[in-house]
Amino acid sequence: DFEIDNSFFVDRLSVSNTSHKQTREPTTMMMEWRVLLLAFLSPSFALRDGDQQNVHSQPLEKCDRSMINDPRYPHTGFMRGGDNSLNDRCTATAIDSGSHYVCVNLPEAKIDGELYSPFWTKTGQAFDEKEATSWPKPGPWCICMWAFANMLGMHPEFADDLNCNATNHWVLENYNVQHPGELRALKAVCGKCGVKSDKCTEAMALP
């Protein structure tokens, strides 16, 4: 079955209602191989919750869904459901090929009195508003850093939904300023979060 957190926010992701078959464009697949390679080449990229930092180089805060009434998706984070300390954290780990390290606050809307997030329809993951009611409800959610970079060009308003204190520092470290989409995403994170770092200074100075 389709594991919803393993494929969130993938550019032009198509999910069948019956078979849950996933289709990714080659660019996204290349990004996933890239993050796996980076992960295994980096000795510091290990699952140690105490070492996880946010974009301000402070301890990573929760992308906290504890106040969200969503029985189907009560927690977020790739590592949710096992070690409770990893629930609702955008934890950087080598086994997460989708790199769900960006915490956003999913916006809300209603259809026929039922709550849903238009995030899922804007990204094309839900075919329509009615289907989106079965996806995670509005509130904090960990999304893919690479697809965030891909989609930001079409939806610059996504930057407004960033939760800086719960977004993993790995995002800043690994966005490539030579890649236009990643540079745009890096600028969005640096600007929204007010990050002061050499890399942010470099990024903000580029056209």
The confidence band for 14, taking pLDDT boundaries of 50, 70 and 90, is very low
Q: What is the mean pLDDT of residues 48-73?
A: 90
Q: Is 147 exposed, middle or buried (0-12, 13-18, 19+ CB in 10 A)?
A: buried
CA dihedral 46, 48, 53, 54 (to 10 degrees): 80
Give residue 83's pLDDT band: very low, low, confident or very high (50, 70, 90): low
How far is Cα 195 from Cα 85, in angstroms, rounded to an integer? 26
Smallest Cα–Cα separation from 55: which of 5, 88, 101, 107? 101
**Tokens 């697809």, located at residue:** 147
Cα–Cα dist 179/188, whole Å? 14
Given a cut of 80, is residue 7 above it in pLDDT? no
The residue that leads in pLDDT, 55 or 18, is 55
pLDDT at 19: 29
Per-residue pLDDT reduced to its tens digit, 114-159: 999 999 999 999 999 999 999 999 999 999 999 899 999 999 999 9
pLDDT (0 to 100) of residue 84:
83
Instruction: Tell me the pLDDT band of 81, cut-offs 50, 70 and 90.
Output: confident
Contact status, residue 99 vs residue 146, Cβ threshold 8 Å: yes
Question: For a pLDDT cut of 90, what percent of the chain falls above it?
Answer: 71
Q: Go through 3-40 and write b for each residue having 16 or more CB atoms within 10 A of its CB, e for each that does not.
A: ebbebbbbbebebeeeeeeeebeeebeebbeebeeebe
Q: How many residues does the chain have?
A: 207
CB 39 within 8 A of CB 58: no
**Is this structure's pTM higher than 0.85?**
no
User: Hey, CA dihedral for 33, 201, 151, 181, is it positive or negative?
Assistant: negative
Average of per-residue pLDDT across 5-22: 33
Mean pLDDT, residues 50-55 = 87
